[in-house]
Amino acid sequence: MERIWAPWRTVYIGKDHGSACIFCEKLQSSADEENYVLLRGEKTFVLLNLYPYNNGHLLVAPQRHVGDITELDEEESLELFQMTQKMIALLRKAFNPDGFNVGVNLGKIAGAGIPGHFHIHIVPRWGGDTNFMPVIGDVRVISEGLDLTYTKLKEALERDGDL
C-alpha cells in the first residue's frame, strides 16, 4: 500500500464535528484566524475549505442560515456574487491560477457536504494539477497547509484591499 504523508491533516481526523452548523459556529466565534474565516461582509463571509480540492479552495456563504439558493434575499444574492468575484480576484493576485471551478451543490444527493447552509465553492486550478493520484489511488495531494494558505490570502487582502 502506498502512503502519502500529510501530518497537518491530523487535526481533523477523529474530531467530533457535532451536529451544529459549522458555518454558523464559525460566524459566532471571533477567532477568525483559527477558524480560517478570511473575510466578513455585511451579509456574507468567506472561509477556507477544511477539506480542499486544491490550494486556496474557498467557501462563500451567507451569514444567515439558509439551505437553498431560493431562500436568499436580493441583498444576500448580490453580495454573494460580488464576494465571489472579489475572491477570484484575490486568488489571482495571491496564487496566479490558470482557471477556476466555481460551483454550488444543492442538497445532499447533489454532493452538498453541509446541505443546511448554502455556500459557493471557489476552486483555483492550474495546468497539471490533476494527475494519476485521484484516478489510480483515489487520493488528492494538496501541496500547502491551510495555515500558510490563510496567511498568504490574508496578506494579499491587506495589501490589495479593494480588489
Annotated catalytic residue, options 57, 117, 119, 121: 119
Residue 156 near residue 93, CB atoms below 8 Å: yes
Strands 99-103 and 120-125: antiparallel
146-159 helix and 74-95 helix, angle to the nearest 10 degrees: 100
Cell numbers for 49, please give them.
475549505
Quick one: CA dihedral 65, 66, 69, 72, positive or negative? negative
Cell numbers for 59, please give them.
467557501
Give the full edge-to-edge strand order of the sheet including 44-48. Answer: 37-40, 44-48, 58-62, 120-125, 99-103
Annotated catalytic residue 121: no
* Residues with a known catalytic role: 119
